[in-house]
Amino acid sequence: MGRAFVYVILGGGVAAGYAALEFTKKGVSNGELCIISEESVAPYERPALSKGFLLPEAPARLPAFHTCVGANEERLTPKWYKEHGIELILGTRVKSADIRRKTLLTAAGETISYKFLIIATGARALKLEEFGVSGSDAENVCYLRDLADATRLADVMQTSTGGNAVVIGGGYIGMEVAASLVINKINVSMVFPEPHCMGRLFTPKIASYYEEFYKSKGVNFVKGTVLSSFVFDPEGKVTGVDLKDGSSLPADLVVVGIGIRPNTGLFEGQLTLEKGGIKVNSLLQTSNSSVYAVGDVASFPVKIFGESRRLEHVDAARKSARHAVAAIMEPDTTPEFDYLPFFYSRVFSFSWQFYGDNLGEVIYFGDFSGTSFGAYWVHKGHLVGSFLEGGSKEEYEAIARVTRLKPAIDDLSELERQGLGFVVGL
Ligand code: FAD
Ligand code: NAD
Ligand code: ISD
Whole-number pLDDT of residue 110: 98
Domain boundary residue among 258, 277, 312? 258
DSSP letter, residue 194: S
Q: Are residues 70 and 150 in the same domain?
A: no
For residue 205, what pLDDT is reported? 98
Specify the pairing of strand 2-4 against strand 273-274: unpaired
Residue minimizing CA distance to atom 42 of ligand 2:
172
Q: Are residues 22 and 90 in the same domain?
A: yes
Closest CA to 267 of 19, 10, 8: 10
Q: Are residues 84 and 17 located together in one domain of the fold? A: yes
What ligand 2 atom has the least distance to the C-alpha of 170? Answer: 9
- Nearest CA owner, ligand 1 atom 52: 295
In CATH, what number is assigned to the domain containing residue 421?
3.30.390.30
Domain boundary pick from 273, 299, 329: 329
Is residue 343 in a domain? Answer: no
Peptide bond preceding 63 in cis form (omega within 30 of 0): yes
Q: Is residue 336 part of a domain?
A: no
Same domain, 58 and 154: no
Q: Are 142 and 255 in contact (CB under 8 A)?
A: yes
Q: Please tell me the predicted confidence (pLDDT) of residue 45.
A: 98
Report the residue among 39, 40, 46, 66 best suited for mutation to probe ligand 1: largest number of ligand atoms under 8 A from its CB: 46
From the list 102, 7, 14, 38, the residue with the least C-alpha distance to 315 is 14
Is 334 domain-assigned? no
Ligand 1 pocket check for 264: Cβ under 6 Å: no
Closest protein CA for atom 37 of ligand 2: 172
Instruction: Name the residue at shortest CA distance from atom 15 of ligand 2.
Output: 258
Give me the pLDDT at residue 11, please: 98
Give pLDDT, residue 420: 97
Residue 180 lies in a domain: yes
**Contact (CB, 8 A) for 166 and 249:** yes
pLDDT of residue 1: 72
337 part of a folded domain: no
Residues 136 and 120 placed together within one structural domain of the fold? no
Q: Domain check: are 167 and 248 in the same one?
A: yes
For the chain, how many structural domains are there in total?
3
How far is ligand 1, taken at its centre, from the CA of residue 297, in Å? 9
Residues 6 and 46 in one domain: yes
pLDDT on residue 426: 73
List, chain by chain if needed, residues with CB within 6 Å of any ligand 3 atom.
200-201, 311-313, 343, 357-358
> What is the whole-number distance in angstroms between the Cα of residue 313 and the centre of ligand 1?
9
- Give the domain CATH number at 302: 3.50.50.60
* Assigned domain for 341 exists: no
What single DSSP character describes residue 303? G
Across the chain, which has 426 residues, the per-10-residue mean pLDDT values are 95 99 97 98 98 97 98 98 98 98 98 98 98 96 98 97 97 98 98 98 98 98 97 97 97 98 98 98 98 98 96 98 98 98 97 98 97 97 98 97 97 97 86
Q: How far is the CA of 173 from the centre of ligand 2 (A)?
A: 6
pTM higher than 0.95:
yes
**Does residue 342 lie within any of the structural domains?**
no
Strand partners, 220: 189
Q: Which of 279, 301, 329 is the last residue of a domain?
A: 329
144 and 252 part of one domain: yes
Ligand 2 and 180: CB distance under 6 A: no
Identify whether residues 166 and 242 lie together within a single domain.
yes
Domain extent at residue 8: 2-124+261-329
